[in-house]
Amino acid sequence: MQRYGIDTEKLSAHFAALDWKSILQSISSEMNTVISSVANVAGSTVSAIADVAISLVITFYVLIGWRELSSQSKRALYAYCKESVADRICHISKLAHDTYAKFLSGQCVEVMILGTLIFLSLSVAGIPYAGLTAVLTAAFAFVPYIGGFLSCAFGILFTLLAAPNKALLCLIVYQATQFVENQFIYPHVVGNSVGLSPFWTLLAVLLGGKLFGVLGMIFFIPLMALVSQLLHESIERRLHTRKPELSNVQSNSDENTDISQ
């Protein structure tokens, strides 16, 4: 090293003067912080995916066993409740079932639209593995917000492996496409499937996420649609009793008076 003009004695003295114990402790502390953060993110992600998977499985079995469950519940209701109460509960249950079935169908349509948009936008931008990223996007789309983060992360990872210079472009194109889809397409497709306007659909997602996290984001859209229908029926009944002529006018212009429109 002396041949290159490096004073080995000074270099050795410099390294000897370093507080290696403090340096190692600092590195260890930083590594623990990083590992803890990664573990927390991974745990939250797995928990969110598990919650969504469980809710979808429960919903699937409820929907396929709806007739048997409905028949048994109806027999019990009319056996132990007043007829008027049983009629009301059966009516609300049927509305809830129909609303959630429509929500699931709208969600499936939205997933296909999102996957197609991601594939087209990434393909036009020349991003590798556009098809695989689109498939993952569609698969994770049932998990609001977190699903989008995961599919975007996988897309960037695939791009880094195949064309590192396009990773930033992948991030920009993906986020721009998802922003447009979330803000303009999702509220219309899913909202229209259950009879909610885009405004009420976004409000349901935000309110549900704030109160109950991922499951709230999923279930608050059909729940708000159900509440809207019941409120509309209640208003119609009261108007029919107090102002029959106003009720007739309102019945002919539901789209202008229903809070869901």
Separation of alpha carbons 114 and 25, rounded Å:
47
pLDDT of residue 257: 39
Asked if residue 236 belongs to a domain, the reply is yes
pLDDT of residue 14: 66
Q: Give me 236's structure tokens.
A: 């119609």
Asked if residue 2 belongs to a domain, the reply is no
Q: Are 246 and 182 in contact (CB under 8 A)?
A: no
pLDDT of residue 213: 75
What is the Rg, in whole angstroms, of the alpha carbon atoms belonging to the chain? 28
Separation of alpha carbons 154 and 132, rounded Å:
9
Asked if residue 194 belongs to a domain, the reply is yes
Q: Give me 145's structure tokens.
A: 């917000």
Instruction: Count structural domains, the chain.
Output: 1
Instruction: Give the residue, 122 or 18, on which the prediction is more confident.
Output: 122
Asked if residue 3 belongs to a domain, the reply is no
Single pTM value for the model:
0.64
pLDDT of residue 252: 46
Domain boundaries, position 84: 29-257
Asked if residue 14 belongs to a domain, the reply is no
pLDDT of residue 169: 94
pLDDT of residue 118: 94
Of 11-20, 87-96, 177-186, 242-251, the poorest mean pLDDT is in 242-251
pLDDT of residue 215: 73
Instruction: Quickly state the pLDDT bin for 249 (edges 50, 70, 90).
Output: very low
Res. 223: pLDDT tops 50:
yes
Instruction: Quickly state the pLDDT bin for 251 (edges 50, 70, 90).
Output: very low
Of 15-29, 44-58, 137-151, 181-195, the poorest mean pLDDT is in 44-58
State the maximum Cα–Cα separation within the chain, in Å, rounded to a whole number: 105
Percent of the chain with pLDDT over 70: 76
How confident is the model over 96-124, as pLDDT tens digits? 888 988 888 888 898 999 999 999 999 99
234: Cβ contacts below 8 Å, ≥ 6 apart: none
Asked if residue 154 belongs to a domain, the reply is yes
Res. 256: pLDDT tops 50:
no
Asked if residue 20 belongs to a domain, the reply is no
Q: Give me 238's structure tokens.
A: 């009261």
Asked if residue 73 belongs to a domain, the reply is yes
Of 9-18, 76-85, 110-119, the poorest mean pLDDT is in 9-18
